[in-house]
A and B are shown apart, each in its own frame.
Chain A
Amino acid sequence: MDSGSPHELAAAYALDALDADERRAYEAHLAACDRCREDVASFRETASALAYDVDVPPLPETLEHRILNAARAERPNVVPLPRRWAIPAAALAVASVAAAVVLGVWATHLSGSLDHQKQANKDQKALVDILSDCTKTQMQGGSAAVCVAPTHQAALIADSLPAATPNKTYEAWIIAGKSVKPAGLFRGGAGRKYLRLTKSVPGGVTVAVTLERRGGVSAPTSTPLLKAKVASG
């Protein structure tokens, strides 16, 4: 870098006011300078506020289509049935489960509130038992973790996962090789949420979370939003 402090260059960099050579040199410098990266991040935030002082004309009609087509051409769309899970059995299960889901939801609504309360208390106690002694694995994809007790009972801990809409639910999965089993539903939302997984979590399996239709499904229909491989042993 020539004259001036690197801090001044952080502003010029954030405003894209460096020419190609200066930019390259500064980026090389950034790689080795934590403080500079913080400066840049902060200045970028401010610089991007400048973007709001513009006219917002109607969008050209074809632009969205163009972008999406180009995106799909680069990388195949893997939603709703991700390739690795799009095995025929899973696909069939998804198709046939719709009616069962409707029935399941209906049954839940009819169940007595007292029974419901008892069950809730039992769930609560089981959850506390797990959380009092468990090993945590952070999940990729969001602020969440899986905590596995020595009994292999496990809880999922999610921090402020965007709340699922009324017609959706988050669904947890236990994945061991080709076996993918549902392990409970939850809604997410602000603050810390706990879900006791309905299946045990032995070492080496992967715990994943997908967003599914309300009531849950028997095989995932979308790629996981959260994922963690639990250490074996």
Chain B
Amino acid sequence: MADGGEGRVVALRGGRRGRTESGARELAHLSDEAVLALIARSDDQALAELYRRFGRLAYGLALRILRDDALAQDAVQEAFLGVWRAADRFVAERAKPSTWLLTLVHRRAVDLVRREERRRAEPLPDTEPGGAEIADEAELAAQRQTIRDALRRLPPEQREAIELAYYGGYTQSELAERLGQPLGTIKSRMFTGLARLRETLGEDANAEGGTVPEGGLSN
């Protein structure tokens, strides 16, 4: 069990990622799953590490849905606390940690937007990446491009239903009303669209060696 090349990787990561609160242990070499296992054991530095990996993405998602900084922060905080509370139960579940976290962020943001009724009615504007200096930017931009391309390949009515639901926080009944379609039509648009998206993302992963978000920003 000799040393591998991990030292280099850690150094690289340590250098290009932001620092957490002072005194943080070096956890950058751990997989997302291992970080989660540490969180399950009440290791708050592991929680800080998870935040370092996915905090920006989580915040970006919450902000896109909520369009309000304070609410977005609340959603992100609740999601990370959700991980903190339930990490020990997650281990058995066999989903990716990033998926779990983003699911929590999304649900929280959607619940908040419904409560606050803050969502905007009209087409969610395409926004350009902000000029942050972190080198993960390139990685994120590539992942963003992948999902955008996949969305563009959907029939417009399927894309519309998925985007309004996911980024707009609309329920299926609200969508039916809003788009003037029977509920069944909305359901099947979301289903067919999401299934097609899954297929497209799977193809891309095979063709390009995995540009689909795999381990989030960390793998």
Contacts and interface: CB of A to CB of B under 8 A. Distances in A.
Contacts of A64: 20-21, 48, 51, 55
A165 B6 contact: yes
A3 to B, nearest CB: 5
Query: Binding site of B, secondary structure by majority: helix, strand, loop or mixed?
Result: helix
| Interface size grouping (class) on chain B | 35 or more
B80 A48 contact: no
Contacts of A162: 29-31, 34
| Interface size grouping (class) on chain A | 35 or more
A165 B25 CA distance: 12
Given A15-B165, A67-B51, A54 B61 contact: yes
A61 to B, nearest CB: 11
Contacts, number: 240
A7 interface: yes
Of the candidates A55, A82, A163, the one having the most CB atoms from chain B within 10 angstroms of its own CB is A55
A166 B187 contact: no
Contacts of A59: 55-56, 59
A224 B44 CA distance: 15
Interface in A1-41: 2-4, 7-12, 14-19, 22, 41
Interface of B: 1-4, 6-7, 10, 20-21, 26, 29-31, 34, 37-38, 40-45, 47-48, 51, 55-57, 59-61, 63-64, 69, 73, 76-77, 80-81, 84-85, 91, 94-96, 98-99, 102-103, 105-107, 110, 127-130, 132, 137, 140, 143-144, 146-148, 150-151, 162, 165-167, 169-173, 175, 183-184, 187-188, 190-191, 193-195, 197-198, 201, 212-213
